[in-house]
């Protein structure tokens, strides 16, 4: 199995969601591990629990610090451990934009409502006061706006006729404990999910001028030019063309460039059996560490090699200056 994703959890209090993440991570096939539990309150009960589970803890009181100062302290504590993700679990501090942008797409939060409903506090009472028939919880990516990032998953919890905010909170918490670990597990393995990978490639391939998708031997492929005379500049292979794993085939300028790439990074590149002799190169997309900027560049280079001259002329002229 690939190495587990390293996750730091930030808490402010009880830490029952953190505990749920920790216990779920004890399963052999859990794709993440909790390597740090940090808090803005040294007396947070969750810290004791984490320590007893053998997890490193860190606490720094927020008193007397402004938002940016506390965030910087937390950021340093978290990065020191090598964490790749942060899971906020009842961390009741508003985060600075700098901190959020440092952890963009790598920081998740759990919130006790069916977002976008009831951001902020008192979510249960607000759901009751509105006469809702359902409350619930959401796991979302953290963006600068409070409780506003893309929702990754939600669980709805039915409201009972004699519910109080406390009773409802108890049931929502049960749902939270299950939702958080499954969503986090899915999220940290998204880069291994062929459908997710394909969608990322597709987005970048179709962003190039005059491109369209057409399958080739059952694999998704992208062409540039007209429907009739267009040419392929990329193929997506998920166990296609006699290969294992998931990869992208793009054109190089020829066999010299192909062998230079193979020499430079044999873990990333290989010569596709089906197309290799004509200078196509395969780039592995299932390492879990794909550099998507690099993939976009490779697609563009390949596109440029086969695109009609009327599309590349301006680029060629620009290159001369
Ligand atoms: C949880 O219900 C969590 O959803 C909520 O605080 C509680 C923390 O409990 N978070 C928020 O309201 C964030 N806006 P826990 O410490 O036992 O996990």
pLDDT in tens, 212-221: 999 999 999 9
The string of pLDDT tens digits covering residues 176-192 is: 999 999 999 999 999 88
Average pLDDT of the chain?
Answer: 95
pLDDT at 1 over 60: no
Q: Is 285 helix (H, G, I), strand (E, B) or coil?
A: coil
Q: Which residue has the tokens 């290159």?
A: 319
Q: Which residue has the tokens 């440092």?
A: 102
Contact (Cβ atoms closer than 8 angstroms) between residue 289 and residue 214: no
Contact (Cβ atoms closer than 8 angstroms) between residue 47 and residue 128: no
Q: Is the CB of 14 under 6 A from ligand 1?
A: yes
Catalytically annotated residues: 111
Q: What is the dihedral of CA 245, 250, 254, 256, to 10 degrees?
A: -50
Return the ligand 1 atom nearest residue 146 CA.
Answer: 14
Cα separations (Å) of 53 from 29, 34, 139, 175?
19, 10, 24, 23
Looking at residues 112-131, what average pLDDT do you find? 98
What separation in Å is there between the alpha carbon of 76 and the centre of ligand 1?
24
Q: How far does CA 135 lie from the centroid of its chain?
A: 26
Residue 304's pLDDT band, with cuts at 50, 70 and 90, is very high
Looking at residues 295-312, what average pLDDT do you find? 96
Q: Is 259 exposed, middle or buried (0-12, 13-18, 19+ CB in 10 A)?
A: middle
The string of pLDDT tens digits covering residues 155-176 is: 999 999 999 999 999 999 999 9
Round to whole Å and give the CA distance between 267 and 252. Answer: 18
Contact (Cβ atoms closer than 8 angstroms) between residue 180 and residue 17: yes
Q: Is the CB of 140 under 6 A from ligand 1?
A: no
Structure tokens at 272: 């596709």
State residue 289 phi and psi, 5-degree precision. Answer: -130, 35
Structure tokens at 25: 């991570």
What separation in Å is there between the alpha carbon of 112 and the centre of ligand 1?
7
| pTM for this entry | 0.81
Contact (Cβ atoms closer than 8 angstroms) between residue 107 and residue 141: yes
| Predicted local distance difference test score (pLDDT) of residue 2 | 64
What separation in Å is there between the alpha carbon of 4 and the centre of ligand 1?
25
Return the ligand 1 atom nearest residue 109 CA.
Answer: 13
Q: State the number of CA atoms in the 13 A half-sphere of 166 facing the CB.
A: 0
The string of pLDDT tens digits covering residues 209-266 is: 999 999 999 999 999 999 999 999 999 999 998 899 999 999 999 999 999 999 999 9
Q: Is 165 helix (H, G, I), strand (E, B) or coil?
A: helix
């Amino acid at each position: 199995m690939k190495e587990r994703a390293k996750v730091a959890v930030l808490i402010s209090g009880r830490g029952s969601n953190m505990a749920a993440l920790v216990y779920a991570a004890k399963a052999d096939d859990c794709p993440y591990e909790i390597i740090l539990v940090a808090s803005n309150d040294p007396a947070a009960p969750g810290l004791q629990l984490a320590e007893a589970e053998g997890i490193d803890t860190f606490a720094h009181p927020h008193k007397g610090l402004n938002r940016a100062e506390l965030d910087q302290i937390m950021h340093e504590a978290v990065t020191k451990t090598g964490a790749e993700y942060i899971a906020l679990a009842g961390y009741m501090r508003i985060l600075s934009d700098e901190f959020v942008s440092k952890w963009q797409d790598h920081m998740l939060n759990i919130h006790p409502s069916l977002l976008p409903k009831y951001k902020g506090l008192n979510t249960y009472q607000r759901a009751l006061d509105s006469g809702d028939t359902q409350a619930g919880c959401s796991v979302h990516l953290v963006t600068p706006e409070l409780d506003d990032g893309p929702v990754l998953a939600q669980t709805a919890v039915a409201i009972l006729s004699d519910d109080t905010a406390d009773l409802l909170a108890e049931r929502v918490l049960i749902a939270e404990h299950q939702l958080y670990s499954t969503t986090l597990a899915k999220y940290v393995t998204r880069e291994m999910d062929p459908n997710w990978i394909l969608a990322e490639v597709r987005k970048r391939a179709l962003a190039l001028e005059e491109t369209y998708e057409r399958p080739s031997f059952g694999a998704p492929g992208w062409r540039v030019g007209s429907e009739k005379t267009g040419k392929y500049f990329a193929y997506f292979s998920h166990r296609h063309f006699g290969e294992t794993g998931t990869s992208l085939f793009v054109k190089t300028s020829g066999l010299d460039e192909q062998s230079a790439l193979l020499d430079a990074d044999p873990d990333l590149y290989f010569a596709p059996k089906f197309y290799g002799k004509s200078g196509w190169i395969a780039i592995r997309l299932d390492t879990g560490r794909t550099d998507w900027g690099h993939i976009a560049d490779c697609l563009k280079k390949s596109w440029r090699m086969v695109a009609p001259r009327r599309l590349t002329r301006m680029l060629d002229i620009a290159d001369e200056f």
